[in-house]
A = this chain, B = another copy of it.
Amino acid sequence: MSISSPSLINTPNGYIPASQRIPAMARPFVSDRALKTLDLVEKFVEEECIPADAVFRQQLGQSTAERFTNHPQIMEDLKAKARELGLWNMFLPKNHFENEGAGFSNLEYGLMAECLGRSETASEATNCSAPDTGNMEVFAKYGTEEQKRQWLDPLLKGQIRSAFLMTEPQVASSDATNIELSITRDGQYYVLNGQKWWSSGTGDTRAKVFLVMGKSDPSNPDTYKQQTVVAVPADTPGITIRRMLSVLGYDDAPHGHGHIFFNNVRVHKSNVILGEGRGFEVVQGRLGPGRIHHAMRSVGAAEKALEYFLARINDPRKKPFGKQLSEHGIMLERVARSRIEIDAARLSVLNAAIMIDQGSAKDARKEIAEVKVQVPAMLFDVVDRAIQAHGGGGVSQDFPLASMFAGARTMRIVDGPDEVHILQLGRNENKRGKVLLDKIAAQKQRTEELFKQYKMVQRDVLQLDRRSGNASRL
């Protein structure tokens, strides 16, 4: 199969392909194969997926009932094209998944994710969409053979979808030790009771398995060992999706975000992931790379917003007060600030990706936390400026900006609100406080020695001990 021609991106005006736009500093880390795939991804996204977005949206339908049950044909057609092009499962990093994935590093896939982030359909079309990606990683890393056969295989093939259920409405689940859904053993079975919300992906009727984190050992003195993750088939009796949550007015169909009740939901104990009490391990292993992927999609979304911004201010029909918008310095300033912020954010994410590639997500904890705060703020500001340049159109359904804005706002909350990452970063940095106090004190000490050496008396220094003195002026 070939991608339809004529190309939208390889225009005579000389659109520079993605492989040549990689920051200089990141280039040594990208293989030739990845460069080629990257350009293919870009071409697929720009020429196939972005034009398909509006069709996909309309095929979903209008009523809530339709939107969570329709499976747009165009998505299946895109998936077929993507597989034909070899653009499938690029997210599985080669250092951990030699066989299952496409064999790219987190950095390499990150660059591709930036392209995918420009389209609403591209991630799913290439089987690289959350939360499936993280869940596939979980199954691949921690799953039993049986679990892999049952869920990983069809997930890798894009036949089913999945969800990860963690957040709960009645507690401050930004601190995951607070979660309350109970998992109790009953012979060969676990029995689950409680509720979850913001269970992304549960709206899609093809989501066949829910990974559910609950509390199995609430009295364990180690609060990070009280939790267990179990794989629960979505049609297990006792599960009710009470309602779908909206995100600033969007339902995010077809995957959506469910509010789900568990009432004596029974699953066999073989459904446990990794082992009882190891829920936090599962979560930790799942989050790092996913945050990088998501961050790079956001970088791509920001680039797209900037493209719309640039197109808008050059739209010949838009001339307030006799000047093209692009002739207004205020607009150019915002373009420039967006350019700076996007480029800076990209470097941060790629650096974190390299750290994961060279070690593990744990080694890159600081870098991942930084990215988790920096990127959503960047995306939010870039989209906000693009919207403003579009006037009323910017908040309407006519441009992709409005839904990007909702998404950007939500990213500051999802997967741990900013504040959690900020405090973690702050506390981590603060550990250096004592060493630095000592270093500065030692430097001051040496300064005093130097004054003596040069036979000088130091003036103008903070005196911290009481001194005798007299009433004379300085």
List the B side residues contacting A384 at CB < 8 Å. Answer: 409
List the B side residues contacting A109 at CB < 8 Å. Answer: none
A283 within 8 A of B: no
List the B side residues contacting A13 at CB < 8 Å. Answer: 434-435, 438
Q: How many copies does the complex hold?
A: 4
User: Which partner residue on chain B sits nearest A398 by CB separation?
Assistant: B462
The smallest beta-carbon distance between A161 and chain B, in angstroms, is: 14
Q: From B178, B374, B397, B419, give the contact of A245 (CB < 8 A).
A: B397
Task: Give Cα distance in the complex from A442 to B174, angstroms.
Answer: 27
Task: Give Cα distance in the complex from A458 to B242, angstroms.
Answer: 13
Q: From B26, B242, B422, B470, give the contact of A474 (CB < 8 A).
A: B242
Q: List 30 A-B contacts (CB under 8 A).
A: A9-B439, A25-B26, A25-B347, A28-B28, A51-B449, A58-B451, A58-B459, A167-B392, A173-B391, A197-B392, A242-B467, A245-B397, A246-B249, A249-B249, A263-B467, A307-B432, A307-B436, A311-B436, A314-B437, A321-B423, A326-B430, A329-B329, A336-B421, A336-B422, A336-B425, A336-B426, A339-B366, A388-B413, A392-B413, A398-B461
Is there an interface contact between B433 and A414, defined as CB atoms closer than 8 Å? no
List the B side residues contacting A351 at CB < 8 Å. Answer: 23-25, 347
A198 within 8 A of B: yes
Is there an interface contact between A423 and B329, defined as CB atoms closer than 8 Å? yes
Task: Give Cα distance in the complex from A175 to B391, angstroms.
Answer: 11
User: Which partner residue on chain B sits nearest A107 by CB separation?
Assistant: B25
Give A184-227 interface residues, CB cut-off 8 Å to B: 193-195, 197-198, 205
Binds B, one of A132-140, A152-160, A232-240: A232-240
Task: Give Cα distance in the complex from A423 to B332, angstroms.
Answer: 6
Is there an interface contact between B388 and A313, defined as CB atoms closer than 8 Å? no
What does the 1/0 interface line of A18-39 toward B look like (CB < 8 Å)?
A: 0000011110110000000000
List the B side residues contacting A4 at CB < 8 Å. Answer: 446
Task: Give Cα distance in the complex from A237 to B471, angstroms.
Answer: 5
The smallest beta-carbon distance between A306 and chain B, in angstroms, is: 8
Chain A contact residues, majority secondary structure: helix
A146 within 8 A of B: no
A440 within 8 A of B: yes
A447 within 8 A of B: yes
Residues of A within 8 Å of B, CB-based: how many?
173
User: Which partner residue on chain B sits nearest A401 by CB separation?
Assistant: B248
Give A396-433 interface residues, CB cut-off 8 Å to B: 396-398, 402-403, 405-406, 409-410, 412-414, 417-427, 429-430, 432-433
* Extra contacts besides A52-B450, A246-B249, A339-B429 (11): CB < 8 Å: A46-B439, A58-B459, A198-B392, A242-B469, A242-B474, A247-B396, A248-B405, A308-B436, A329-B426, A333-B426, A387-B413
User: Which partner residue on chain B sits nearest A4 by CB separation?
Assistant: B446
Task: Give Cα distance in the complex from A10 to B167, angstroms.
Answer: 37
The smallest beta-carbon distance between A205 and chain B, in angstroms, is: 7
Binds B, one of A59-67, A83-91, A267-275, A285-293: A59-67
A2 within 8 A of B: no
The smallest beta-carbon distance between A87 and chain B, in angstroms, is: 18
List the B side residues contacting A313 at CB < 8 Å. Answer: 430, 433
Given contacts A249-B248, A344-B344, whether A462 and B172 have CB atoms under 8 Å apart is: no
The smallest beta-carbon distance between A198 and chain B, in angstroms, is: 5
A277 within 8 A of B: no
Q: From B59, B435, B456, give the contact of A59 (CB < 8 A).
A: B456
The smallest beta-carbon distance between A305 and chain B, in angstroms, is: 12
The smallest beta-carbon distance between A245 and chain B, in angstroms, is: 5
User: Which partner residue on chain B sits nearest A242 by CB separation?
Assistant: B463
List the B side residues contacting A444 at CB < 8 Å. Answer: 51
List the B side residues contacting A239 at CB < 8 Å. Answer: 469, 471
Given contacts A171-B317, A370-B343, A443-B51, whether A238 and B471 have CB atoms under 8 Å apart is: yes
List the B side residues contacting A406 at CB < 8 Å. Answer: 248-249, 395
Q: From B306, B432, B446, B469, give the contact of A261 (CB < 8 A).
A: B469
A241 within 8 A of B: yes
The smallest beta-carbon distance between A301 and chain B, in angstroms, is: 15
